[in-house]
Amino acid sequence: MIGVPYFPYLKHYVLSVPAVFIDGELVLLDPVEPEDVLMLISGKTEKELSVEDAVENFVRGVMASQALLVTVMLYKSLKPLLIPELVSVLSRAKHYKQEHKTPQILEKIRASETELLSEHWEHLVKLLTFSLVREMYWLGVDIDEVEKSHIKMWILAKATLGRVGLPYPRPTVPDVVVDAVYTTLKEAGRRYLDKVAEEQIILNDAEFLSLIQQA
């Protein structure tokens, strides 16, 4: 997608890559394994999907997408993502031909939102910080140069498109998110920088995911 105008992708909810389509219809978003694609090619994807497993898939999808992750952290909520078409894809309901369960999955996510955010909070913060460090590496910005105000601006800019997505009525970033990212940056930022440098020469997804998990 490098060099390709991205607006056509947005209308299809392509908010992370890889993204897999069948006949122009989005069916998978990252994380995508080769086995997933082979199942699609063979037409043998239909299988039972519990609501609990679907919710876990949804959370993994959020963690795999910088766009979705930063939106969740900006609003400190999963609610902005609770669009049936998007949930159907992230939860794998669409992949497993269990789309009729999408309303149940949506309701489960709504009911357990506080619990889900609490359970995964530390990992979400680490992933967000790692994303920040990656962009600092690309731009040649040192850890010591970053203040909390920079993190606020970065999150607000990254989670929005122009003025679309700005929190209402007053655009702001939760202090608890900024404080957590700042603390993680100061404690682990240089280690993350080393991992990002290593990331630049990684050739496959398995190695990349292993690197992130070690962070």
Per-residue pLDDT of 57-106, as tens digits, reads 999 999 999 999 999 999 999 999 999 999 999 999 999 999 999 999 99
35 and 61 belong to one structural domain: yes
Q: Give the structural domain span for 202.
A: 120-214
Domain count, the chain: 2
Could you tell me if residue 62 is inside a domain?
Answer: yes
149 and 126 belong to one structural domain: yes
pTM attached to this predicted model: 0.87
| Helix, coil or strand: residue 66 | helix
Out of 42, 76, 111, a domain closes at 111
Residue 183 has pLDDT above 60, yes or no: yes
Please give the backbone phi and psi of residue 22, each rounded to the nearest 5 degrees, phi first. Answer: -130, 120
Other C-beta atoms lying within 10 Å of the C-beta of residue 170: 6
DSSP 8-state class, residue 13: T
95 and 177 belong to one structural domain: no
Could you tell me if residue 2 is inside a domain?
Answer: no
139 and 207 belong to one structural domain: yes
> pLDDT tens across 165-180, in order?
888 888 899 999 999 9
16 and 104 belong to one structural domain: yes
Q: Answer whether 173's CB lies under 8 Å from 155's CB.
A: yes
66 and 139 belong to one structural domain: no
Out of 57, 81, 111, a domain closes at 111
Q: Answer whether 19's CB lies under 8 Å from 7's CB.
A: no
**Could you tell me which of 56, 58, 49, 57 has the C-alpha nearest to residue 81?**
58
